[in-house]
Structure 1
Amino acid sequence: MKIKSILHLDLDAFFVSVERKQNSELKGRPLIVGGMGDRGVVAAASYETRKFGVHSGMAMKVARQLCPEATVIKGNAGTYTKESHTVTEIIRSRVPGFEKASVDEFYADLTGMDRFFGIEQFASGLRETIIKESGLPISFGLSQNKVVSKIATSVAKPNARNIIPVGNEKNFLAPLEVNRIPMIGNKTFQTLLNLGIREIRTIQEMPVEMLESVLGKNGRTIWKRAHGIDEVPIIPFHERKSISTERTFGRDTIDVVRLHATLVAMAESLAYQLRKGNKLTSNVSVKIRYSDFQTYTKQAKIPYTSADHILIPKVEELFKQLYNRRLLIRLIGVKFTGLVGGNYQINLFDDSEEMLSLYNSLDHIRNKYGEHSVRRAVTMDTRTIGRMGNPFNGEPPVVLAHRKQ
């Protein structure tokens, strides 16, 4: 079997780096990007602040107490989205196929490229090109699989590279703390610490059955990753990947209240599916089909997000701009495109701890009792929109619903 060469690229302290690119006076100074009020949340922290214990997701009030000399900036999601697109296009122009794992993180399969030029030389050249053309620092890890490459990048940071030779994966991983392994969060890390497991070498010395008895089915995955084993493939990035839903009415309508409720229900359902699939969207579109079968769509670029309170107003705004014929409507639809992997971090500078807790709580209830166990009051009279399950298992565009009512 051919040994793979998987490259992992990660923009260093992305939001912070963008702010410093725009204002050189911020370089070298402790910097926090996030919500400005005490109830806000840290979206990103410079390396200068991290030695004081500041990290993303932390309450801004706590971060200010830990590092009172830090400069705090609210940040601009639109600017970060634009910079992310710039780096994406640089990578797209030089790599045959790549995965955009989040707004600031990429994977590329360089297997076989050594027939034309050295893989290490190519990876280093790509990194230098990104730094030169984007003005942003970026680190990379190179190994035979995604997990080891990602860990290698985290060890290399900031603004450096780390190449793990084939066969040296276990030795590289052994002295690292177990929370370097992707999928080990704070809770699992604490569980392992309570068992006296701090370094990855300890997991390497354990029978897989022992780890399974403690962590369940995730124990085997963690055990394999600790040994440098990972078979997860590169998922090619396609800008057009989308998620959508439509509603065809049994009887054409001009009931604006009903139309509004249906649109809100659609946007709410799609936003939940994004968060469930750990995705963010950068483009929203609304479709209207009138009783004479004339169909119109309107779309808008937005900063990456998966938040209801950002997506629903944009859907409402597009509908108001689009609905100008005052004819009976046969069908309406909502689509989110330009999807990338990523969590809610891109919105942290807009939100408070309470907002993040609300989303986490609502999604927890939906995951446990079903998507429609919690709904906005305005949508209560609409019929079920959406579907159970994960719409992101396959690459083609996903239509969540197309039902008559």
Structure 2
Amino acid sequence: MLGDRSIVHMDMDTFFVSCERLQDSRLNAVPLIIGGHSARGVVSSCSYETRYFGVRSGMPMKQALRLCPDAKVIKGDMELYSKYSNLVTEIANEHAPMLEKSSIDEFYIDISGMDRFFGCLQWTTELSDKIKREAGLPISFGLSVNKTVAKIATGEGKPLGRIEVPATAVRPFMNPLSIKKIPMLGNATFQILARIGIRKVHTLADMPVEVLQRILGKNGISLWKKANGIDNTPVEPYHERKSISTERTFNQDTFDVDMLRRLLVSMVENLGFDLRKENWLTSTITLKIRYSNFDTHTRQKRVAYTSDDQKILEVISELFDKLYERRMRLRLIGISFSGLVRGSYQIDLFEDTPHKIALYQAMDSMRMRYGKEAVTRAANYTPKPR
């Protein structure tokens, strides 16, 4: 069964940097950092010239500039990156039998059975060359039996990597790697496993799965499977989402402004979590209210691409103050995010601190494990009766 599938993972190399260099050739070979200009900012992306000095994505800007003081810092342009991302997606979609866009700069393709008509490696190489030729962007790919191994292969081959890992080579390829190479294995999990001597994939793969389950719960089973090259996750067909929204119709019409504001906080937190979970950023925020006489009004505001709850809440509060003008009861309130582009939480927060990014990641991790209501702002917290 392991060899029945042929899954490609493609990832644009230093995508943000490559987009900026397409716009301005003077940036070629220049040490380049994409991120916040302030000392409190975070590195969103960086060129290989800066990585030579130890600069990495997610690093505090102050530390990055200390390591590479000659680096040129660019704030970043999500609209530009989205344009090139859509171009690459269109090229891939023209040829791929089944494509899943997993983020702004990477996607999976299921080409199972292609070997009967056309060599999988040859097909993937030709698509990679076409993207490089028509979009001008460098790209790496991994080809293997499932998503996990293909993604790891892409990472091992960067930059401009083209690695095929057939079914018979999965374990030999995976075994010597650090467990940090396994997708979705974060630093906290790494520290837990490292303390019991598990640092290499082969050690993790050879552990009794029952032991890992006792230590890490369900995640232990998932990591054991990945370490053994087992991943049956399907490639989901790509459909571009236009918007994400939620609304609440009240059982009784209300003009309790304090309750309405608490409700808006809860709605933003839930939608913001959905944005980050699905790797979306929004550029248009819309608030809708409906009065008791059924008059419906909306207001919207364009913002820099974001998935930051706090920034969105500030906009929603502003829209609510402008929109709720009558002293009349409301029967419905709703929020909508549109103008979506693919991108992760770190991509958006060019001016945020590593502490804030870590906080949001920790909160989202708790929601993923225990549900959306697991953590909320104190202003929105209502103790449940015992």
Amino acid at match of 2:135: S
Q: State whether residues 45 and 55 of structure 1, in contact with CA within 8 Å, keep that contact through their aligned partners in structure 2.
A: yes
1:139, distance to aligned residue in structure 2 (A): 0.7
Change (3 A) 1:326 1:95: farther
Amino acid at match of 2:187: N
TM-score of the two chains, using structure 1 as the length reference: 0.78
1:12, distance to aligned residue in structure 2 (A): 1.0
1:177, distance to aligned residue in structure 2 (A): 2.1
Change (3 A) 1:206 1:329: closer
1:35, distance to aligned residue in structure 2 (A): 1.4
Q: Show CA shifts across 1:155-197 (max 9, x none).
A: 1111221111232111221222221111222233344444444
Amino acid at match of 1:13: T
**What is aligned with 1:144?**
145
Change (3 A) 1:102 1:180: same
1:151, distance to aligned residue in structure 2 (A): 0.6
Q: State whether residues 78 and 302 of structure 1, in contact with CA within 8 Å, keep that contact through their aligned partners in structure 2.
A: no
Q: State whether residues 285 and 335 of structure 1, in contact with CA within 8 Å, keep that contact through their aligned partners in structure 2.
A: yes
Distance 2:342 2:328 in 1: 39
**What is aligned with 2:103?**
102
The reply on whether 1:60 has 2:51 as its aligned counterpart is no
1:304, distance to aligned residue in structure 2 (A): 4.8
Change (3 A) 1:129 1:300: farther
Amino acid at match of 1:147: T
1:336, distance to aligned residue in structure 2 (A): 3.3
Amino acid at match of 1:24: S
Pick aligned residue for 2:377 from 360, 366, 375 = 375
Amino acid at match of 2:180: N
* Percent identity (aligned): 51
Q: State whether residues 304 and 346 of structure 1, in contact with CA within 8 Å, keep that contact through their aligned partners in structure 2.
A: no
> Mean alpha-carbon deviation: is it higher for 151-160 or for 109-118?
109-118
Q: State whether residues 279 and 339 of structure 1, in contact with CA within 8 Å, keep that contact through their aligned partners in structure 2.
A: no
Distance 1:228 1:364 in 2: 24
1:310, distance to aligned residue in structure 2 (A): 3.5
Q: State whether residues 140 and 154 of structure 2, in contact with CA within 8 Å, keep that contact through their aligned partners in structure 1.
A: yes
Q: Show CA shifts across 1:129-163 (max 9, x none).
A: 22222221111111110001001100111122111
**What is aligned with 2:279?**
279
CA RMSD across the alignment: 3.7
SS in 1 for 2:41: coil
Q: State whether residues 182 and 227 of structure 2, in contact with CA within 8 Å, keep that contact through their aligned partners in structure 1.
A: yes
Q: State whether residues 101 and 342 of structure 1, in contact with CA within 8 Å, keep that contact through their aligned partners in structure 2.
A: no
Change (3 A) 1:261 1:192: closer
The alignment covers a number of residue pairs equal to 381
**What is aligned with 1:266?**
267
SS in 2 for 1:331: strand
Q: State whether residues 346 and 357 of structure 2, in contact with CA within 8 Å, keep that contact through their aligned partners in structure 1.
A: no
**Alignment of structure 1 residues 244-259 onto 2, 5 Å:** 244-250=245-251
Q: Show CA shifts across 1:42-93 (max 9, x none).
A: 1112222223221111111111112222222221233223322222222223
Distance 2:372 2:190 in 1: 29
Change (3 A) 1:180 1:354: closer
TM-score of the two chains, using structure 2 as the length reference: 0.82
Distance 1:241 1:100 in 2: 15
**What is aligned with 1:24?**
25
1:3, distance to aligned residue in structure 2 (A): 0.9
1:341, distance to aligned residue in structure 2 (A): 6.9
The reply on whether 1:165 has 2:170 as its aligned counterpart is no
SS in 2 for 1:349: coil
The reply on whether 1:345 has 2:352 as its aligned counterpart is no
| Gaps in structure 2 of 5+ consecutive residues | none
1:39, distance to aligned residue in structure 2 (A): 1.3
SS in 2 for 1:167: helix
The reply on whether 1:128 has 2:136 as its aligned counterpart is no
Q: Show CA shifts across 1:114-140 (max 9, x none).
A: 444332222112212222222211111
Distance 2:289 2:182 in 1: 47
| Gaps in structure 1 of 5+ consecutive residues | 385-405
1:247, distance to aligned residue in structure 2 (A): 2.1
